[in-house]
Amino acid sequence: MLEIATHYMHGMAQMFFLFATLLLYMTPRRTRVLNLLMLCMGYWALLELKDFIVCYPSHNANYVLDWRFVFFDLLSIPITSFYLLEQLFPGRMNGRRCLKLILPFVCMAVVYVVLLLFFPNRDYLSIGALWEDRLYPPTALRILYTLYALIYGGVMMIYLVRNTYVYGRFIRSNYSYTDELDLTWLRFFVLLLFGCMAIYGVILFFASALSDLIFYTVSLLVWLFIYQHAIRQKIPEIASDYWVEKESQSQKASSESSYDRGFGECLREIFEEEKIYLNPTLSIVELASRCGTNRTYLSQYFNNVLHVSFYDYVNRYRVEHAAVPLLQQMNGGNMEEIALKSGFGSISTFRRAFVKFTGKTPQAYKKHYGEASPSFGVKKIWPMQEEASSSEESNGSNSEKEG
C-alpha cells in the first residue's frame, strides 16, 4: 500500500512539473525570472522521469549515495538557485553568473566520469561499507560532491533569507504599496526548500518507500506554492537599483549635505492640497519628479531627515487624512470600499497600516472613538515635518551666514 502511494505521488509530481514547464513555455513575453523558473521546472520534470526509469523496472535503487542520484539530483540545487537569485535580484543572473555557480558541480561530474575509465564503479548497501571504502577515488568524489552540494544549499539559504529582509526595506523605501512586490513568501519558500533538501539527504543514505513518499509529497506542495506566487509576482521598475554597487561613503556623505531645502514644503503641498496619497500605486520616482529632484535624494530625505520610510509616510497620510474621516462619515460602510477610497490597493494592506498607526483595527477604532476628531489616536505627521522644516531653515540660515 505504501509503495502504491509512493508511485502515485511520484506520478503526480512528474505531471505537475511537466505541465508547469509547458504553461511557462507558452506564456507570452516571458521575463528572465519566468525563463529561469521554466528551466527549474523542466529540470525537475526530467529528474522525475529519470527516477521512473531507474528505480521502478530494476528495483535496485537502494544503494547509499547512488551515483545515478547524487550527480543528477543534487544538480537541481544550483539550478533552483538561479531562479531564486533572479527573483531576488532582477536582471542580475546572466549566463556568466549562472555558469560560475554551476561550474564546480559540472567539473566534479566530469572528473567522476574520467575516474570511471580507470576505476570501476562500486555500490554500497550500508553507510559502514561506504565509509570503509571512502578513500577509493570515485567514492571519495561522490562524498565530496554531496558535501559541497549540501553546503552550497545551506549557504545559499542563509544568503537568500537575509536578503529578503533587505529587499523588503528597499520596497518600502520606494513604493507606497507592497502587493505583488514584497518577497516575504520567498523567504518561506526557501525554508521549505531547505527542508526538502534535508529530506533528500536522508534518502541518499536511508532510501525507503516512506522517505520517497514524504519527499515527493513535500516537493510537490512546495513547488505548487512557488508557482502560484511566481506567476503573480511583479518586478519593480527600479529593481536593478537594489543590487547595483552602492555609492562610496564619501559620495553618500556629500549627497546628504545637499538636500533641497524645499522638500518639506513641497511634500506638504502635494500631500495636503493635491492628496497624491490617494494614488494606490504611488512610487517615490513619481513623487520625486513632482518635487523636481531624483529618487535618491528624496529617499535620503525620508530616511535621514524625517526618519521614516516612504511606505510608512504615505500610508500614515492615507490612514489619518482619508481612512479615519471616512470611517466616521460612512456609518456601517464597507471596509473594502473605505480602503480603496483611502488610496490602499488591498484590504489587507489597509488593515495592517491602520493597526500600525492607530493600534486598533478599523472596526475597533470606529466603535471605540465614535465621533472623535479624525486625527485622534493617529500618530502625527506634522510635528515630524515641522521639525524637519525648522532644521532645513536653520541649515539654510547657517549656510547664508557662512557665505
The pLDDT mean for the chain works out to 81
Residue 276 binned pLDDT confidence (cut-offs 50, 70, 90): very high
Q: What are the DSSP calls for 245-272, one per residue?
A: PPPPHHHHHHHHTT--TTHHHHHHHHHH
User: In this predicted structure, which of 18-27, 192-201, 368-377 has the lowest mean pLDDT?
Assistant: 368-377
Query: Measured between alpha carbons, how far is 338 from 332 in angstroms, rounded to an integer?
Result: 11
CA distance 355 to 334: 17
Q: Which three cell numbers stand for residue 340?
A: 480603496
pLDDT score, position 23: 94
pLDDT attached to residue 98: 94
Phi and psi for 63 in degrees, rounded to 5? -75, 150
Of 26 and 211, the structure prediction assigns the larger pLDDT to 26
Kindly indicate the confidence band of residue 239, based on its pLDDT and cuts at 50, 70 and 90: low
- pLDDT above 70 (res 325): yes
Taking 50 as the threshold, does the pLDDT of residue 255 lie above it?
no
Residue 77 has pLDDT above 50, yes or no: yes
Of these ranges, 174-183, 184-193, 293-302, 308-317, the one predicted with the greatest mean pLDDT is 308-317
**C-alpha–C-alpha distance, residues 3 and 209, integer Å:** 6
Distances 288 to 92, 168, 236, 344 between C-alpha atoms, Å: 26, 20, 16, 20
- Give the pLDDT confidence score for residue 369 in this predicted structure: 64
| Cβ within 8 Å of residue 391, ≥6 positions away | 305
Q: Is 335 left (phi over 0), alpha (psi -120 to 50) or beta?
A: alpha
- In order of start, what are the domains of the chain with their CATH numbers? 2-239 (1.20.1070), 259-398 (1.10.10.60)
Q: What is the pLDDT of residue 79?
A: 94
Q: What is the pLDDT of residue 58?
A: 47
Burial of 287 (0-12, 13-18, 19+ CB in 10 A): buried
| Range picked from 145-154, 173-182, 187-196 for highest mean pLDDT | 145-154
- Tell me the pLDDT band of 97, cut-offs 50, 70 and 90: very high
Q: What is the mean pLDDT of residues 37-59?
A: 81
pLDDT at 133 over 60: yes
Block residue for cell numbers 502504491: 4
Range name among 184-188, 309-313, 318-322, 366-370 with the lowest pLDDT average: 366-370
- What confidence tier does 157 reach under pLDDT thresholds 50, 70, 90? very high
Mean pLDDT to the nearest integer, 140-150: 93
Q: What is the DSSP letter of 378?
A: S
Distances in whole angstroms, Cα of residue 7 to Cα of each of 58, 111, 209, 215, 295? 14, 34, 9, 12, 55
* Residue predicted with more confidence, 333 or 187: 187
Average pLDDT over residues 236-258: 50
- The answer on pLDDT for 251 being more than 50 is no
pLDDT at 331 over 70: no
Q: Mean pLDDT over residues 237-249, rounded?
A: 52
What's the pLDDT score for residue 83? 93
pLDDT value, residue 373: 47
Q: Which residues lie closer than 8 Å to 401 by C-beta, 6 or more apart?
A: none
pLDDT value at residue 21 = 95
Query: Is the pLDDT confidence value at 153 over 80?
Result: yes
More confident residue, 361 or 81: 81
pLDDT at 336: 86
